[in-house]
């Protein structure tokens, strides 16, 4: 460990070239592998409502993301700027693209995971579990086997001011689900989260990371069995500022999490490598751009980007 500390110290000098305002480095050697020296956080768009769910559409070379309160999916590209992708979006939140390039979208007011077929038709993929409506799907990922995994916290349901209860809630809890499009079957795979939120698979698909943005403010990791079941999981890391919302995994298996102070990067063993500090609190992020090495960050009312040295695993 002593030698490692010396190496880290030796490499701290080039690290100083980074804009001190934009980063916090815990492990200089590892951080340099993630974020190039001199990288700065750029604001691409502002004056939005509350932005979430960024996804890079490779085929179109554009970023799509959600403006939840404005009931709109936005589109951004360097050439085309900011435009409307879909409105109304049914207060869309998390987005992902499946193997066929179809856009999957979590809808708060739609209370469903929707899928947009190529050509434009938007259909319901999942809107119930055991005959009861979902709460308000928040974020979604697709496993390499084609199954769709999503979280269903209660953030999108209205709170009754008198009872403080969520109105119209039909599920017994805030679960994480696995949906198999081949069979149409939906299974609750995790039931003990307070508010399950962002989720992402390891590059080999054998681990699933899930953020709890409720009181725990941590990310848990689960082993994924071949039959799609999970083990009991364990705490992978805890977020020290704010809580985790959207998360992504890079090709080396590092976990990139939104947090109150920016994007926090964790090694596969759960140790924090450092932070990319952002002026507004990020809710979600994704890798994209022509080379896959732009990190797009949705943060409150604005969209930001930063050039990084790695790209994302999966879609």
C-alpha of 259 from chain center: 11
Cis peptide before 105 (omega within 30 of 0): no
Shortest Cβ distance from residue 150 to Mg ion (Å)?
11
CA distance 211 to 231: 16
Applying CB under 5 A, which part among 21-29, 31-39, 243-251, 291-299 lies near Mg ion?
Answer: 243-251
* 27 vs 179 by CB, closer to Mg ion: 179
* 31 vs 175 by CB, closer to Mg ion: 175
Q: What is the DSSP letter of 312?
A: B
Tell me which residues in 253-292 interact with Mg ion (CB under 5 A). none
* 212 vs 250 by CB, closer to Mg ion: 212
Q: Does 298 bind Mg ion (CB under 5 A)?
A: no
| Nearest of 245, 231, 274, 256 to residue 314 by alpha carbon | 256
CA distance 255 to 266: 5
Binding footprint of Mg ion, residue count (CB under 5 A): 4
Question: Contact at 8 Å (CB) between 211 and 197?
Answer: yes
Here's the x/- map for Mg ion, 168-197, by CB under 5 A: it reads as -----------------------------x
Q: Does 138 bind Mg ion (CB under 5 A)?
A: yes
Shortest Cβ distance from residue 64 to Mg ion (Å)?
15
* 186 vs 257 by CB, closer to Mg ion: 257
CA distance 286 to 293: 10
* 243 vs 274 by CB, closer to Mg ion: 243
Question: Contact at 8 Å (CB) between 192 and 172?
Answer: no
Shortest Cβ distance from residue 243 to Mg ion (Å)?
10
Applying CB under 5 A, which part among 72-80, 138-146, 169-177, 302-310 lies near Mg ion?
Answer: 138-146
CA distance 62 to 80: 9
30, 67, 139, 212: which one binds Mg ion (CB under 5 A): 139
Tell me which residues in 195-224 interact with Mg ion (CB under 5 A). 197
* 197 vs 294 by CB, closer to Mg ion: 197
Written as six digits, the tokens of 61 are 């070379």
C-alpha of 1 from chain center: 33
CA distance 103 to 64: 10
Q: Site residues (CB under 5 A) for Mg ion? A: 138-139, 197, 245
């Amino acid at each position: 460990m002593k030698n490692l500390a010396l190496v880290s110290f030796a490499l701290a000098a080039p690290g100083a070239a980074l804009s001190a305002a934009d980063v916090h480095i815990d492990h200089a050697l590892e951080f340099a592998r993630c974020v190039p020296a001199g990288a700065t956080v750029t604001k691409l768009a502002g004056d939005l409502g509350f932005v979430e769910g960024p996804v890079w559409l490779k085929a179109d070379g554009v970023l799509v993301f959600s403006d939840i309160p404005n009931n709109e999916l936005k589109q951004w590209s360097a050439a085309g700027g900011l435009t409307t992708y879909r409105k109304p979006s049914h207060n869309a939140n998390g987005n992902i693209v499946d193997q066929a390039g179809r856009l999957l979208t979590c809808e708060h007011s739609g209370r469903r995971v929707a899928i947009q077929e190529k050509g434009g038709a938007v259909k319901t993929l999942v809107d119930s579990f055991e005959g009861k409506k979902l709460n308000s799907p928040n974020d979604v990922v697709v496993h390499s086997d084609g199954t769709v995994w999503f979280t269903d916290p209660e953030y999108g349901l209205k709170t009754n001011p008198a009872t403080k209860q969520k109105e119209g809630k039909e599920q017994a809890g805030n679960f994480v689900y696995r949906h198999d499009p081949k069979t149409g079957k939906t299974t609750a795979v995790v039931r003990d989260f307070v508010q399950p939120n962002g989720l992402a698979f390891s590059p080999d698909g054998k681990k699933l990371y899930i953020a709890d943005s409720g009181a725990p403010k941590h990310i848990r990791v689960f082993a994924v069995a071949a039959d799609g079941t999970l083990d009991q999981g364990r705490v992978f890391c805890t977020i020290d500022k704010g809580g985790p919302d959207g998360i992504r995994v890079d090709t080396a298996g590092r976990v990139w999490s939104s947090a109150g102070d920016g994007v926090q990067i964790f090694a596969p063993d759960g140790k924090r490598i450092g932070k990319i500090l952002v002026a507004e609190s990020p809710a979600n992020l994704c890798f994209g751009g022509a080379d896959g090495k732009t990190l797009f960050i949705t943060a409150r009312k604005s969209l930001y980007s930063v050039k990084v040295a790695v790209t994302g695993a999966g879609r």
